[in-house]
Amino acid sequence: MAYQVFISFKRNALDGSGKTRDYELAADLHKTLKARGIETFFSEKDLSTSKFRDEIDTALEEARILVVVGTSRAHLESENVKYEWRAFHEDMLNGIKPNGQIYTYLEGMPQTHLPLALRHYQSFLSNQKELLVHFIMENLGIQDVPSHPQPTQDTTAKPAPQPAPQPVSYPSPVSYSTRPIQNISQPVSQPAARKSVQSTPLIVTVAVVLVIAMVSGIWAISHSNDDSTESVKSLSELGSVSVGDHFTFGNYPQGEDGEEQPIEWRVLAVESGKALVISEKLLDYVPYNREYTDVTWETCTLRTWMNNGFLNNAFNSDEQAKLVTITNQNPNNPTYGTEGGNATQDRIFALSIDEAKKYFSSDSDRKAYTTDYTHKKEYDHDDRSEWWWLRSPGRSSNYAAVVFGSGNVDQNGSYVNLNNVAVRPAFWLNL
């Protein structure tokens, strides 16, 4: 059985209170599509563990249409849901799914709140289910014949002649370019506010408090995990180096308009006069490999980018002289056994699965955030955390392991040609 439609949705509530409204909408849509004879992937199981990722990937590869069900941006950006829609989206962009289509099926959120990659696909409100089904069937080349209830006939009298059937006219789906989706969780109309001179000071006070809170919140989000490199010493100023230290070294575009700024590095290990360091922030979005094909760290284009393009852009000749050329072992994937390939000589590299686990104390410690420059590309979460590449292979040789936005190491990995996984370069530095 090959799936025609894949329904992506957040199954369990973020607060652990049970199944989501997204699940209810997805289950109802699945029931409707099944009744029309459309093979649809909808899972009752919790697919959050790697045990079920093979099943997800197979269904994603088979499906021609992806329906993303959402009632909030947080649900759409949860790790598994985001993995599904952006993998499908990238396959469409890269020509792997030339006839692919994505629809969003929303309730309680405006289309303007969708992640950028989903914002320009056709969207449908939850009260437009039949319209969505019509578009799905039309895309699949299946004739959509809506059923109409037949009038009750009086058997004692001759039935009145029925008019000839007329073509069914469907309303247009929501299109951001013409009419953004309204937040249907709000009433259609609000009663006029009661005017009161005495209430004015209270209103002004509340408004001021809200503005301050909003500005503070925006500042907190834009500066989360951001101590600013201005307060971090340069390597030459630091003197001795210990595990956990931060320092600046080299420059790379990090400002919103691409202006170069000193790169902040974190010390992961100190051994025999050398220090292993990794960028504190996610410096760019670069695919593990430009083409969707079987690769290893030795042959991937990310390795070339790190040891040529990034090396030469980020460091001057004196700084490059401090970088140690080391021999990296590239072990097989510990879960799937995918071959890691030959050992490599690297000056700059991505961490392996083992190293990502060894040098960080927890998922939260491993979590990383984008720079203003990277964030402007609009792939990352609202708090600016994002996935970043490891050099280890994933479940197969056309997958590479990643660290999720939450900081969790994912040995299953992602398609090697994804453009929206970030990079966090590492290297050994002569002290």
d(CA 403, CA 424): 10
> 10 and 81 in contact (C-beta within 8 Å)?
yes
Among residues 343, 351, 360, which one has the least CA distance to residue 407?
Answer: 360
Q: Mind listing the pLDDT tens digit for each residue in 204-247?
A: 443 444 444 444 444 344 444 444 556 899 988 887 899 999 99
The maximal CA–CA distance of the chain, rounded, in angstroms, is 103
- Cα dihedral 347/348/349/355 (nearest 10): 80
B/e letters for 52-81, b = 16+ CB within 10 Å, e = fewer, are: ebeebbebbeebbbbbbbbbbbebbbbebb
Q: Give me the residue spans of the domains in the chain.
A: 5-140, 231-430
Give the whole-angstrom CA distance, residue 332 versus residue 287.
20
For 339, the token pair is: 């071959």
The pTM of this model reads 0.60
Give CA–CA dist 169/67, Å, rounded.
Answer: 23
> Between the CA of residue 74 and those of 16, 121, 311, 372, 383, what are the distances in Å?
14, 19, 36, 21, 11
The CATH number given to 5-140 is: 3.40.50.10140
Each of the 431 residues of the chain gets a pLDDT tens digit; together they read 689 999 999 998 888 778 899 999 999 999 899 889 999 999 865 454 555 778 888 899 999 999 999 999 999 998 889 989 999 998 998 889 999 999 999 998 888 889 988 988 989 999 899 989 999 998 899 876 544 333 333 333 333 334 443 444 444 454 433 333 333 333 333 333 323 333 344 444 434 444 444 444 443 444 444 445 568 999 888 878 999 999 999 999 999 999 999 999 999 999 999 999 999 999 999 999 999 899 999 999 999 999 999 999 999 999 999 999 999 999 999 999 999 999 999 999 999 999 999 999 999 999 999 999 999 887 777 788 899 999 999 989 999 999 988 899 999 888 898 888 999 999 999 98
